């Protein structure tokens, strides 16, 4: 029924559940790095990655609001959402990875992107603390203010997430 339809977005999950468990964060971030890798390999960038632009289709996270997708070499207007934009602005693959890092920060901590990089004190007592600290290493690298030390590609970010899934440490 279109009048009562409510899309299942990552933002909706955050409102309903607060921060998500480590396994859910990992599954979502692996799926989205795969999607970004595909976009970037085809010379495209998303330009507005945020929880409300991540929709679940049969349980799989997908990038939505594709109206802002553009070629990397296009002359573009400055678009994006405050707090998800890197210091250099949108339009490059590293900017998409920065925004994804902020999304990962929000879903793994329950915090607001503007609070980054502060970790909530409640994590001290969390049984998943060690795994979340490892995930935070990915977030810190994705959101580094210096684009030269950020993940160079979605594939590189995906590789670190795969290491976490295999139970290995990034620290």
Q: What is the pLDDT of residue 163?
A: 97
Residue pLDDT, tens place only, 108-152? 999 999 999 888 777 778 888 889 999 999 999 999 999 999 999
**Closest to 111 (Cα-Cα) out of 39, 14, 4:** 14
Q: Is 48 a catalytic residue?
A: yes
- Could you identify the residue written with the tokens 């007592």? 125
Q: What is the mean pLDDT of residues 143-168?
A: 96
Q: What is the pLDDT of residue 67?
A: 63
Q: What is the pLDDT of residue 56?
A: 96
- In the predicted structure, residue 78 carries a pLDDT above the cut 70: no
Token code pair at residue 71: 């070629």
Residue pLDDT, tens place only, 45-67? 998 999 999 999 999 999 998 76
Residue 98: how many CA atoms within 13 Å on its side-chain side?
Answer: 27
How much is the pTM? 0.91
Q: Is the dihedral of CA 161, 150, 35, 90 positive or negative?
A: positive
The residues, any chain, with a CB within 8 Å of residue 16's CB and separated by 6 or more, are: none
Radius of gyration of the chain (CA): 15
Are 159 and 151 a contacting pair, CB within 8 Å?
no
Catalytic residue among 1, 23, 48, 146: 48
pLDDT band at 85 (very low <50, low <70, confident <90, very high): confident
Are 106 and 98 a contacting pair, CB within 8 Å?
no
Q: How far is CA 30 from the centre of its chain?
A: 10
Q: What is the pLDDT of residue 10?
A: 97
Q: What is the mean pLDDT of residues 86-106?
A: 93
- In the predicted structure, residue 156 carries a pLDDT above the cut 60: yes
Q: What is the pLDDT of residue 54?
A: 97
Q: Who wins on pLDDT, 86 or 26? A: 26
């Amino acid at each position: 029924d279109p009048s009562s339809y409510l899309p299942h977005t990552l933002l909706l999950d955050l409102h309903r559940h607060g921060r998500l468990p480590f396994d859910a964060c990992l599954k979502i971030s692996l799926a989205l790095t795969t999607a970004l890798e595909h976009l970037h390999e085809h010379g495209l960038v998303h330009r507005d990655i945020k929880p409300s632009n991540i929709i679940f289709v049969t349980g799989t996270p997908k990038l939505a609001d594709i109206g802002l997708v553009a070629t990397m070499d296009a002359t573009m207007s400055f678009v994006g959402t405050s707090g998800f934009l890197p210091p250099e602005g949108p339009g490059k693959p590293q900017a998409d990875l920065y925004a994804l890092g902020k999304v990962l920060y929000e879903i793994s901590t329950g915090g607001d992107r503007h609070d980054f990089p502060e970790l909530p004190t409640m994590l001290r007592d969390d049984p998943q603390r060690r795994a979340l600290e490892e995930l935070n290493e990915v977030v810190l690298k994705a959101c580094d203010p210096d684009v030269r030390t950020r993940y160079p590609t979605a594939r590189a970010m995906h590789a670190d997430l795969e290491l976490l899934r295999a139970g290995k440490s990034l620290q």
